[in-house]
Amino acid sequence: VMITGDHENTAFAIAKQLGIADKAADCLTGVKLSAMSDADLQKRISDICSLTTIFVFIWGCTLTPLRNLLQKI
């Protein structure tokens, strides 16, 4: 899991170089995150064990709920 305030393209390029992502679909922006229901977000986070996920453009309003859910797994 990579959480960053970078632009989606920048975050994906870095993640690809680090070998933790191979497709842009692995990125979940703050906008997409904010639009997700709690159940959808919980499912996405639960899937992290089998998927690489990069959260990008994450700021205070989305960081706290994301951090709280990640601490539960």
DSSP 25-69: GGEEEHHHHHHS-HHHHHHHHHGGGTS--EEES--HHHHHHHHHH
| Of 72 and 31, more confident | 31
- Per-residue pLDDT band for 13 (boundaries 50, 70, 90) equals very high
What's the rounded mean pLDDT across residues 27-53?
77
pTM score > 0.85 for this model? no
